[in-house]
Amino acid sequence: MPLTGNEVDANFFNLIHKALGDRPRPRPERRANERQALESRLRIALPRGPGLPNDDEFFEVQGYDIDRRGFSFLLPFRPRFDRVVAAFGAAPAVIYLGAKVVRATEVLVYADGPPAGSPDRVGKPMVLVGCQFTERLQR
């Protein structure tokens, strides 16, 4: 039985709060809405017109953080796009949200977390892509 809009919204709310947990952030937060770590993979696609991209156009990225206004993820390259569609949740309660890319920052990612003062550690260069939600999309 298909879920109603309110049930899907409630599932998304629960998904965000489950992902957020009570993990402390390593840096002070300057945003009005504090983002929380999103340490899971998520699926995104590039929009190519009205409606949703096909399922085979979505690809996995490593999530970084999330709040009610946006999310960020890691890429191995600087994005050449300015909009994405993100799929949150699992079937049959997947929520699709359109988002615009608002920043892309080069970072070093360490396998065991942020640097702990050891200058000989080598991080993997990645790009942290920050997105702001713009719309809810329906399949």
Q: Which residue has the higher pLDDT, 10 or 61?
A: 61
pLDDT of 123: 84
Q: Is the dihedral of CA 16, 22, 25, 28 positive or negative?
A: positive
pLDDT of 135: 95
**Buried-exposed string 40-79: b where 16+ CB fall within 10 A, e elsewhere:** eebbbbebeeeebbeeeebeebebbbbbeebbbbeeeeee
Q: What is the pLDDT of residues 77-119, one digit of tens each?
A: 999 999 999 999 888 889 999 999 999 999 998 877 655 556 6
Q: What is the pLDDT of residues 26-85, one digit of tens each?
A: 455 454 567 788 878 899 999 988 889 999 999 999 999 999 999 999 999 999 999 999
pLDDT of 37: 85
pLDDT of 14: 63
pLDDT of 48: 87
Please report the domains of the chain, with CATH numbers, ordered by start residue: 5-137 (2.40.10)
pLDDT of 70: 96
Q: Which residue has the higher pLDDT, 4 or 58?
A: 58
pLDDT of 86: 97
**pLDDT band, very low/low/confident/very high, at 1 (cuts 50, 70, 90):** very low
